[in-house]
Amino acid sequence: MSEDQFKSLRTEMVKRQILARGVKDSFVISALKTVPRHAFVPKDERNFAYKDEARSIGKGQTISQPYIVAFMTEELHVKPGDRVLEIGTGSGYQASILAQIVDTVYSIEIIKELAEEAKIRVGNLGYKNIIIKQGDGYIGWPEKAPFDAIIVTAALPTIPPDLLEQLKVGGRMILPVGKYVQELVVISKNEGGHTMDSVLPVRFVPMTGKILEQEQQDTQE
């Protein structure tokens, strides 16, 4: 399939899957129209890249459904000049959407192979404002904090205190919370603490690393 054909599919995706479902933020719409989603899936999956579904990227991980990417990005209320932390780089697609809007995206991926592949991919696409490292996202990236926004793309049983600490006052964080039943939760941080709202039922792969070890320890006890 040619790049023009992919562009046509991308335009149709935005029209039918994003705009039709109420996403209105002009920065988000522009990013979805621009970022070549087909470059973030395995080569033999590229013809399906713009379908209304999540797709496997290997290592038990997925690239999220386009609408979920758009919805989560819009809920962050990000703008030019912002610094964003992403937990769960995966293919690098969500980071690239954010990079179209904000100043810098700091992204953490726990799976070494995915982190390395994503670095190469976003580099080849010309994104110089995405910084990816391999590590455990549960503890965040304190050296680069505070962040204007934080997005988590793996499910957690509870809100990680380190991430909340690294969010600026006035900032927003969105993440899937729950084990068997998950909800997207938006946290808004203020001078007195934070507010929390459930905005959408979802199904994400679970976060691994420290949080998984902690859960196993709690079960044994």
Nearest C-alpha neighbor of 153 from the set 100, 194, 114: 114
What is the C-alpha to C-alpha distance for residues 180 and 195, in angstroms, rounded to an integer?
A: 23
Residues belonging to the active site: 64
CA angle 90/160/156 to nearest 5° reads 55
Distance in angstroms (rounded) separating the CA atoms of residues 73 and 114:
21
Return the structure tokens found at 190.
Answer: 């203020």
Q: Determine contact, residues 19/92, Cβ cutoff 8 Å.
A: no
